Amino acid sequence: MSSRITSAVSGTAGHRPGEAAIPCRDFDGDLWFAERPEVVDVAKALCGLCPLRAQCLAGALERREPWGVWGGQLLLDGAVIAHKRGRGRPRKHPAAA
């Protein structure tokens, strides 16, 4: 994870006092539409800091956004889903530790 994303998630991003951090304006938009589950988790964490989180999620649900992270939640086909499944076919048996 880049140091810029790490500082944003930890709340130490370089915004002026009194200036609200809007992560989707500060970072590459592809972050919110990532394929890899671990990158999606980063996007969700960044959204957790956003003062517009509730409005963002409400708007995305109203528009039935097809996919992406909106308001700190992962949407697929206009509905919130718990987590993003990795690419490829699911394992038939759990991986050995």
State the pLDDT confidence band at 68, using cuts at 50, 70 and 90: very high
pLDDT of residue 12: 43
Comparison of pLDDT for 16 and 61, the residue scoring more: 61
Q: What is the mean pLDDT of residues 7-14?
A: 49
Facing residues of 57 across strands?
Answer: none
Comparison of pLDDT for 14 and 44, the residue scoring more: 44
Distance CA 43, CA 31 (A): 6
Q: Which of 16, 93, 22, 13 is nearest to 53 (CA)?
A: 22
pLDDT of residue 2: 58
Statement: residue 11 has pLDDT above 60: no
Q: Enumerate residues 6+ apart whose C-beta is below 8 A from 68.
A: 32, 33, 60, 74, 75
Q: What is the mean pLDDT of residues 14-43?
A: 84
